[in-house]
A and B are shown apart, each in its own frame.
Chain A
Amino acid sequence: MNAPQTAIDLTARPRVAGHFRLQWEEVQKAWVLLYPEGMVKLNGSAGEIMHRLDGEKTVQAVIDELESQFETTGLTADVLDFLTIAQRQGWAKA
């Protein structure tokens, strides 16, 4: 169970995992993950990443999109870090 976390490949096409539902909550002004009797409220950057995971876009495409939308560069490490957490929490699947 404690096998080292496999690094996330930039060509992987992750998606929101099975029993989670991701949606924008206007009242909270946040993306949330919903699951049986529970909710995870995502912070701004986590939400921006998660809602781009559609199982079709590659990780690289998500990074490109974010960098272009927020007119910045060097987001690769941040996005990979978050995806590692999201996978560990079971929120996302590659």
Chain B
Amino acid sequence: MSQSAPAILVRDLRKSYGDHEAVAGVDFEVATGEIFGLLGPNGAGKTTTVEILEGYRQRSDGIVSVLGFDPQQRPRALRERTGIVLQSCGMYRHIRVREAVEQWAGFYPHPRSVDEVLEITGLSDRPDEPARSLSGGQKRRLDLALALVGDPDLIFLDEPTTGFDPAARREAWATIRQLQELGKTVLLTTHYLDEAQALCDRVAIIKEGRILTEGPPATLSASAGRYRVAWRDEHGIAQEREEEDPTALLHQLTSAALARGSGIEEISVTRPTLEDVYLELTADEVDEVV
């Protein structure tokens, strides 16, 4: 498989449970070396999609290729090249941090150094701590360490920072960016918009088993939304207008202001954030997201 082939290719993926179609025709590609985000409310089909790519679930229909393999066949060669952080996942009650990472390293043909993995996941100061006594955030780091120790080319992260405090999230983000610097491909799911915006080269917003929109976080905002122009008029009243193209409005405002011989108070031209796009697209799920 050549470098230019996508790491992940998904075409018209479907998964039904009885009458319910949890994934209803999803298409996307993830390029090698890319951080791709699947974004959506709970129950949107993110985890089902990812678990099909990971080989945990069988698809009902469609084409799926992960590093050139069909994950449904569960080829060992594929599992040797992927690292998986599941959404919630326990560990042996009596295993210690370093012991767990060493055990996992033995599953892979070319593992990374255990010390190095403990270092980058911030666990090197507690190698002998039993896994069960780690805090929530530390457990998540252990999950990441176990996913990284095999030196995978592709890493699946299912809601990697849920339950993290803000500082821990920033650290996790730095670790994930580091993976990209190493040339790894990352597929992550999240319901944190700032996480998607901070990390992802591209995101797909998924709802009710369908992708609503897809693209780089910045252009996604731009394509879905308009420019929002806000200012305070000559009577001191706040005004706000949305424009596909704000050129004419700005010209009008600045000409009027120049004619009056005064400035325009508090003018701003903004574009919708990923959050605005997301909330608009997933409108009836707002309660779950906030």
Q: Do A and B come from one complex?
A: no
The interface of chain B, by Cβ under 8 A from chain A, is: none
